[in-house]
Structure 1
């Protein structure tokens, strides 16, 4: 590959990344087709991080000329999303990929290694395809690694339909050339310290595709099936005005709840699973109404106002010049580089040797999550922390 084209890659209507939604709510695909797909800053940053990771993997694999590699790297350093954190986040992902590749090479000296590879699963999903961040094909186990650059929602690999469709596409392409018995799928999410792996047999993957994927995909492709609201609505383009989603949340909002300290345990348990979804729905509704007002719509009883803003310099260089000429020289502050930035500057091994004993990772604040969350219970994590203190 001589040029990174990640930002321009096509997306299938029944994409792997949106598969959880179209499998849970098949007609949402046709409904959301009425709305423009406007990329968010988070999606744009994610694309940039993928491109930067791709460059680093090509540098490791040695399949790009140094001149092309440096030219593209220089262009990415000029990107608004480029930062020390972007380097650190992508380094963590790439380090995991390299460790995985080297581990596979122990038992298979010459595996097939594919970066940003198009995976076709249209045998089960009409016009279905996606792009695998890293695919490693070898006898025995097929590896699929997916990079998540976000920090908002923790993504798990366990029966993750996006990863399973990637695994399915890779299996369909290479099963005739390799003796693949298992498919191992991993999500690497550096900003949340999350590395999640799920492994299944090829037989189980095919059964899932035949019994669960194909029927739902055909319904979605034809715009049929029942609308169904849930947490999968969060990134649907029709989420702002979807009636089913509104009805779903209004059933909760219309309940006559007592004060929180008077709710029964059963009522609290009834609310907890949908509380976050309700908050997201309200936020989406406000965002939609606000944008409509910006575009000229009048909402009776409401008006647009300027939100809070923070003062900023028009030019730091001019501020430095003017302040210095006025006799003010104490206009800078010095802070120690953060752990991640300093580790990158020194290198992991040297950082560990020199500063390892001065670095701690405090236990995080307690969070109430569903019991199937893979993280250890808070009491256990806090106990480990106290034992180390």
Structure 2
């Protein structure tokens, strides 16, 4: 190999955000780049709304650190981050691969739009749950009953290092779906600019909207920077969704209302956790017939590189996404997937250590299904 590229997709946890068509395109283009002596490593960080919050920035740093440790020190590495939101564009929108926000219009109220357009409302529901459940937390060695807004602020300060309110502040709605990916790109660029470790890496960032109605990504950044690997993957996806009948049939679920079978909390590194393996396991477990291909609308997936560090809290949109999945999508079956049994145990421990996540699990009687990549790979071998 003469070069290595590390690509990190920041995408939504929405169950419709991945399909076998996309997986096949990634595999095909990755192989083509390998033939050109370019090694490509793709990681996916998924949180509700694709918000670039401090925990997501930390996930990016950890992902890059892992890639550097596993690489040949003599091999040049380039880094790319792709911010992707999703929605339903009107038929008169310019759906070319590279478009402009003023040429795009969102179908208001469409079930294909990101649920985090109403994130502040989800935050209010979480606040209501906390006040009703009245959890007892320890602050500076003293037991405190959290039963009002002020004490929720104490909870956020003590456990999540956030000084502010929960709804509309720590968890807030997407302002405008068309401009959201560009705004998150700006947030990320500012975070990189003040981080000496990230700033030196010359990370290139793209941003776009996945239109579920046409199953294709639309870049809203003027195509700058040009990223041959990512652009080729998206071109391949467009080709198959437009011309391949079997692909169109497979993608019907992507243009349907979100109604997944189960939730999945797992690592962002594909070498540690596989959404496809988890989906196949769940369908076998529930005796649901399937072909082995990954269908959209199967698994509501939240990922992170620090999910296996039990003493650190989850970020706001991981919590919002988990609550939304459990309460509104009725996904009380939540698979928890690490690379091996020990890593899975650490993720479950983190869920139980996080006061709000623990409360959601207890209130809605969530079934945490422990699985791991090693065992599932052996089962499918």
Say whether the fold is shared (TM-score over 0.5). no
Q: TM-score if structure 1 supplies the norm length?
A: 0.26
Q: Which has the higher contact order (CA 8 A, sep 6+)?
A: 2
Query: Rg: which structure is higher?
Result: 1
Pick the structure with more helix per residue: 1
